[in-house]
Structure 1
Amino acid sequence: MTTENKALVPVWALATEAVNLPNILGEEGMTPARLSELRAVLATLADSPIATLEAHPISTRQERSGGIPLQAASPLAQQLSNLVAQTKTSVPSMLNEAPSGEVLYRMVVPAKVAAQVGTGLVTPMKSQAVAGGVYSALRDSTGIVAKATFVPVTGKAAVAGATSGSAATAGVAAAGAGAMTVAAPLVLMAVAVGVSAHAEHQRQKSVERITDLLERLNENNLENERNELNGCRDAIDKATGILLGKGRIGLSLGLDSAVHAISMAISNSERRLKKWQESLDALPEGPVEIKVLTKNFPGINEEGGEFRAHLELARLAIALKRRVIVLQAVEHAQAEKTGNPFQSFTAMLNNDARRINELEAGINSVLLRLSTLELKRARGVRNLMFTQGDVDELLNVVYRLRALGNSINTSITQADVAIEIERSSDGSLVVFPLQTA
């Protein structure tokens, strides 16, 4: 697909339970701008979350990292296949499949649902053309798609168990009104894999930064703490593969010990956060001497210091905890036999995520406060004189503190979540980390 044509793209409106809405999608084509407007209307009018799913043919595949691969027999792959099969007759023939058999699915979940799947999970795709800008246009594996025309699609046949039962076995069904399809399990699995992929991406970045920091620090205790957290990955990966790839997690697969290690790391991070908050509260009013700052935050004035290592260990623990929480929430949703599996999933996820969301928010608050501190050099007999070394040290510390604040997305409001899913000709999938729509 190129940015110059007006290719037709099918779009499904997916509800997580049966809802009665007027057919506001219509049957004619629509632009990306109109689709965005309609998503906002659907999110406002419907009691149940309404997601949209687009299918774009992939003409040129670009290498992308950070995705989670799933087999063709996985619950998510089966849900996508069922949806396409049931709506095939209502989709123009040229839209059913790309010539290569490879398709990029893009599911957009409303902001009010995104708020339930964890704080701080989603950040905009930053523009390389304008400083501080972000992309808002539709994006596929080849880049920005500017002129696609969307064609609404509606389900044709009901499937028993679509609005309740196991997330691995329930199918899709047509809703009573409008071009709406009930597909709670499909939305559940897409969100679950997207959140897990995002958390794994965050874990990888934290491990890289920690490794670099510990090579400079040569701190054995912190290295042991990192290794213990890294040791949890094997059990989490196995559980993720079974749960998201086959639908049932069964036995713990060593998750008990992994969960314990992660919980200990979260506890250590909470203890350190409390100490940081107390240290900030104890700082005097006005400019702070560098030596006073470094006494309370060791190594904060260095490229790789103890404070920064503790910060990255906390981020690593948060990323691992999020992966475990997703697994537990999906397992809980699969065990739910009477209610809506998606509602069960989000409720469980939200309850368990509250503690780590508070931890992450507390860390961000500390970083923001540090980034706004006014600094001064130490008092002494040369109180009125600045050497070049004094100036360089003061500027270096100021720049490092400002960089702490620049890494926090303080001005970003909760936005719709986009989950990109690449489907190969053999039916296998790669689900990429969440991003803003």
Structure 2
Amino acid sequence: MTDDHKAIVPVWTLATGDIRVPALVGDEPMTAERLAELRGVLAVLADKPIATLEVHPLPGTLDRSRGIPLDAASPLAHHLSQLISQSARSSSVAGATSATGEGLYRMVIPAKVAAQFGQGLVCPMAAKGAAGGIRSALVNSSGIAAHATFVPVGKAAATGAVGGSAATAGVAVAGSAALTVAAPLVLMAVAVGMSANADHKRQQAIERITELLEQLQEQKLDDERNELDGCRDTIDKAAAILLDQGKLGVSLGLDSAVHAINKALAAADRRLTRWQSALDKLPDGRAVDIGTLTKSFPGIDENGGTFRAHLELAALAIALKQRVIVLQAVEHAQMDPGNPYESFARALKADQQRLDKLESGLAGVLERLSALELARPNSLLPVLTNSEVDRLMRAADRVHRLRDSIMVNSRQTDVAIEIARSRDGSVVVFPALPA
């Protein structure tokens, strides 16, 4: 982070409903470690989701192209502006730090709550050029510098009641003075962050598929890619409308886009079943001839190959479906304004379960393939030629490296959503990340 040892970081605790929790926050400064402990305690004790929101200085260089921009009139930007202005009047710390409103706002959702959003919806995004790196708007990977001092914002007015209106709700009852009811702000931040995360996955999948198809030159796979990527414009428009609390119309064509995505998911399901069946037919404990393997997994021994293209098409369909799920959840929550967060979580979880099953199945296929031992090709000669040895070694290495593609989402983690706010009130919301 860019903070120095004198940095003061205001932190709000935001509830999504009127709840009772012990007075844990108070108004004393905290370390990053203490803040992390507080999140865990609040997640255990509170019966409704509680998020924390920090405001940091904007980094000198910030790649805003990775996020979703929203103007100052959008609900998320409006709720955030209201929190800033009302907190500034009652808190000298918040007023001094967010006087201009410009900053990098970081909302952290506890792991217990984040699990409601499905296993596959939030996962690390590898940073190019850094092994194991995580893309983040913040300078360091954890997003919190240990030397920063976090000061609770006390007696802050809320940004909106549970119902999603912009009206002030006041401080949550009988709890810490720093606890505010801000369901709309939390809901919109999660929705945009999840949507940006899914779109980032889509972009990554498209890049990989394009590279593979340039090698394969297969028109059928190219048509599948084009049909899926053609849904992007419709989904982008639907996201813009819903995130501005508009209503989706038939003319938008979202139904057609969802139909194309569902077709692609059905194709991925069929391919997965075929791959699982092929693996089941292989003899247990015996080496597999590379020729036998490539009949069911064409191109598995090559850099590209049809099998890898099918995997990437499945990843693209999953990413697009995840974004649609978020949009449908937002629409569902807006239709039930009296209970937005619970409705949002339920709608996400219902459809996400199918995607979790598909992702788990694909990961299982890759795991089984990577554990296979490859046998020498069938030959009348007692000794392999140099070219056959080279092919076998390359194939074994490529098959074993399939495990590197497996995304492991079993460990629950806090989810961080970073929002860059400009002086004019407009915001850019970055893809949701494990905190």
Deviation (angstroms), 1:101: 4.9
Give the match's secondary structure for 1:381: coil
Deviation (angstroms), 1:113: 1.9
Q: Deviations over 1:84-132 (max 9, x none)?
A: 2222234325754457752100000011221121223333477999976
Corresponding residue of 2:188 = 189
Matches within 5 A, 1:310-349: 310-338=310-338, 340-349=339-348
Mapped contact 2:104–2:420 kept (Cα < 8 A): yes
Corresponding residue of 1:122 = 122
Give the match's secondary structure for 1:175: coil
Corresponding residue of 2:172 = 175
Mapped contact 1:82–1:172 kept (Cα < 8 A): no
Change (3 A) 1:98 1:52: closer
User: Partners of 2:128 and 2:230 in 1: how far apart?
Assistant: 37
Give the match's secondary structure for 2:42: helix
Corresponding residue of 2:274 = 275
Change (3 A) 1:266 1:80: same
Corresponding residue of 2:401 = 403
Q: Deviations over 1:218-262 (max 9, x none)?
A: 111111111111111111111111111x11233141101111111
Matches within 5 A, 1:28-47: 28-47=28-47
Change (3 A) 1:99 1:397: farther
Give the match's secondary structure for 1:36: helix
Deviation (angstroms), 1:404: 1.6
Is structure 2 residue 81 aligned with structure 1 residue 85?
no
| Amino acid in structure 2 at the alignment position of 1:294 | T
Change (3 A) 1:183 1:223: same
Instruction: Give me the identity figure in percent.
Output: 55
Change (3 A) 1:308 1:130: closer
Deviation (angstroms), 1:169: 4.4
User: Partners of 1:376 and 1:262 in 2: how far apart?
Assistant: 39
Matches within 5 A, 1:13-162: 13-58=13-58, 60-93=60-93, 96-97=96-97, 101-124=101-124, 141-143=138-140, 145-157=145-157, 162=161
Corresponding residue of 1:247 = 245
Deviation (angstroms), 1:287: 1.3
Mapped contact 1:117–1:350 kept (Cα < 8 A): yes
User: Partners of 1:377 and 1:414 in 2: how far apart?
Assistant: 42
Change (3 A) 1:149 1:250: same
| Amino acid in structure 2 at the alignment position of 1:263 | N
Q: Deviations over 1:246-297 (max 9, x none)?
A: 1123314110111111111111111111111111111112211111110110
TM-score by length of 1: 0.91
Mapped contact 1:10–1:91 kept (Cα < 8 A): no
Mapped contact 1:16–1:163 kept (Cα < 8 A): yes
User: Partners of 2:129 and 2:199 in 1: how far apart?
Assistant: 28
Deviation (angstroms), 1:311: 0.7
Matches within 5 A, 1:379-398: 379-383=378-382, 385-398=383-396
| Amino acid in structure 1 at the alignment position of 2:192 | V
Deviation (angstroms), 1:62: 2.5
| Amino acid in structure 2 at the alignment position of 1:186 | L
Structure 1 residues without counterparts, runs of 5 or longer:
none
Corresponding residue of 1:430 = 428
Mapped contact 2:10–2:94 kept (Cα < 8 A): no
TM-score by length of 2: 0.92
Corresponding residue of 1:205 = 204
User: Partners of 2:128 and 2:260 in 1: how far apart?
Assistant: 40
| Amino acid in structure 2 at the alignment position of 1:147 | H
User: Partners of 1:260 and 1:171 in 2: how far apart?
Assistant: 41
User: Partners of 1:412 and 1:261 in 2: how far apart?
Assistant: 29
Deviation (angstroms), 1:140: 5.6
User: Partners of 1:131 and 1:162 in 2: how far apart?
Assistant: 43
Instruction: Indicate the larger mover: 398-407 or 30-39.
Output: 398-407
| Amino acid in structure 2 at the alignment position of 1:21 | V
Deviation (angstroms), 1:171: 5.3
User: Partners of 1:174 and 1:202 in 2: how far apart?
Assistant: 38
Corresponding residue of 2:419 = 421
Change (3 A) 1:111 1:170: farther
Deviation (angstroms), 1:57: 1.9
Q: Deviations over 1:340-393 (max 9, x none)?
A: 20000010111121111211111111111111111111233334x343323321
| Amino acid in structure 1 at the alignment position of 2:266 | S
Give the match's secondary structure for 1:147: coil
Deviation (angstroms), 1:66: 1.9
Mapped contact 1:171–1:185 kept (Cα < 8 A): no
Deviation (angstroms), 1:168: 6.0
Is structure 2 residue 184 aligned with structure 1 residue 218?
no
